[in-house]
Structure 1
């Protein structure tokens, strides 16, 4: 039985290796996909030495990825255009792998209908200090300037976020909708103060739905900004902590679609769902 590696397309791997061994090759072919240029213009635009540029253009012509136009300029061929259309996202995806590193597992693979290249702007917002207030302050600032807030979550907002959320929604300064887990519904209704706050959110028009069981990730959309955090066995009263942050249009569209999908499959929540049990531990008027 042949080794699996022998089944791979050798010529395709050689082409990938040729490009990946030289950043200059990628830069020059990328430029050629965007317009027609003379060798001198390309040298100025790419900061590649003329000798190196001449050699690379000759190699690209030999491979059928670049061509000389009738005006004496150079441009990418259809082969070169198609190649870079796939190769650039691959580079950006690998770069994302390195940048997100250990938090890459927070992205839900089964529900991730977009490529990693769309997370090319994503950052892991790690506080400069160990103080969790820094992360909470960042999210609170987002809430304070958001007109539409959407959520898919297992985590409860810490007190400052809960207060801002309540204030802006009840004042009709912000809309809220999304899906929260059944465990989170129970937690939010476990003390009078918290239950009263969330009843007010529903009564003010927030469209919340309840899902029984795990969710693929914790996801929040603040107008243009998307925050993602892993979903797991963490306590539901954990702070939002360190999230992945992105403002990419495709990421935002994916986040909206994912929340829509889960909302369609979840059960509506009315204000009565947040009824505090007076016999529950900690059920006092100060409970938050």
Structure 2
């Protein structure tokens, strides 16, 4: 029988359906993943009632995914393989579900496979500013921030100002003309931005083709990737610290920084 044979494919689909139809089966496999487990403890660990546990174990033994031992029940090598593969598939599908409705606005080159454990922060009816509040939290928690954006919420600007002027934050940012225009229009935001421009702890450049919102922070704080639709509306903020996303984000920032130009400080009342 060759790989791809109809019989093999049918058996594989049957095995996948076997797990997909019953969270209890996957729970028992997961409980057995570390070490052989006595039947009583297995039911408690997997959260499965005694009668159901008996049926699940019989099914797993029949598929040769588990076997009874002197210490209780244990996974077979193929059972461990099936558990790992199906758990990986579920994690991937959970991630694609979290990103549903955002696919067309994801930044070019963003490594999607690295987003499996990412948190997607969306505006909610009771919390429409949730993505912006997450961006502000990132700014207040990090000691170094690199940013690419054409919009800067007042809370984020305040957090940048507090961090830079307080000596707790080193900031590098590539900003767009819309952000500069809005910031320069109001005396309070113009003053705060002028303070940032005048600080040795902050460096800004500007570019006209900004089509991304990106924040890079200390490891452990994370990478914030804003998802902006065609009308400039923030749909979500993807929050992750995956190494592949960090590598992509740093490369993206450095390229944008090289292509950007200095900001004229006179626009904000600063004399060189």
CA shift in 2, pair 1:135/1:267, >3 Å: closer
How far is the alpha carbon of 1:21 from its aligned partner?
A: 0.9
Please state if 1:265 is matched with 2:255. yes
Which digits, 9 at most, give the CA deviation of each residue in 1:102-137, with x for residues without a partner? 245544474225344313x4442426166x5x7655
The residue aligned with 2:126 is: 128
How far is the alpha carbon of 1:141 from its aligned partner?
A: 4.6
Decide whether the 8 Å contact of 1:149 with 1:176 is kept in 2. yes
How far is the alpha carbon of 1:231 from its aligned partner?
A: 3.9
Please state if 1:158 is matched with 2:148. no
Which digits, 9 at most, give the CA deviation of each residue in 1:150-188, with x for residues without a partner? 3233x320344324323422442112235x36xx1x345
Which digits, 9 at most, give the CA deviation of each residue in 1:51-103, with x for residues without a partner? 3222222221222211223x242111222222222211321332334444324
How far is the alpha carbon of 1:242 from its aligned partner?
A: 5.4
How far is the alpha carbon of 1:34 from its aligned partner?
A: 2.0
How far is the alpha carbon of 1:24 from its aligned partner?
A: 0.8
Please state if 1:230 is matched with 2:227. yes
The residue aligned with 1:172 is: 167
The residue aligned with 2:52 is: 52
Query: What is the aligned length?
Result: 258
The residue aligned with 2:79 is: 80
How far is the alpha carbon of 1:201 from its aligned partner?
A: 3.8
- TM-score, structure 1 as length reference: 0.70
CA shift in 2, pair 1:209/1:54, >3 Å: farther
Q: Distance in 1 between matches of 2:113 and 2:85?
A: 14
The residue aligned with 1:96 is: 95
Decide whether the 8 Å contact of 1:24 with 1:48 is kept in 2. yes
2:145 maps to which of 145, 149, 153: 149
2:117 is paired with a residue of what secondary structure?
helix
Higher relative contact order (CA 8 A, sep 6+): 1
Q: Distance in 1 between matches of 2:9 and 2:114?
A: 23
Q: Distance in 1 between matches of 2:167 and 2:14?
A: 59
How far is the alpha carbon of 1:206 from its aligned partner?
A: 3.6
Please state if 1:9 is matched with 2:5. no
| CA-based RMSD | 3.8
Structure 1 unaligned spans of 5+: 1-5, 279-283
Q: Distance in 2 between matches of 1:255 and 1:265?
A: 15
Decide whether the 8 Å contact of 2:164 with 2:199 is kept in 1. no
- TM-score, structure 2 as length reference: 0.74
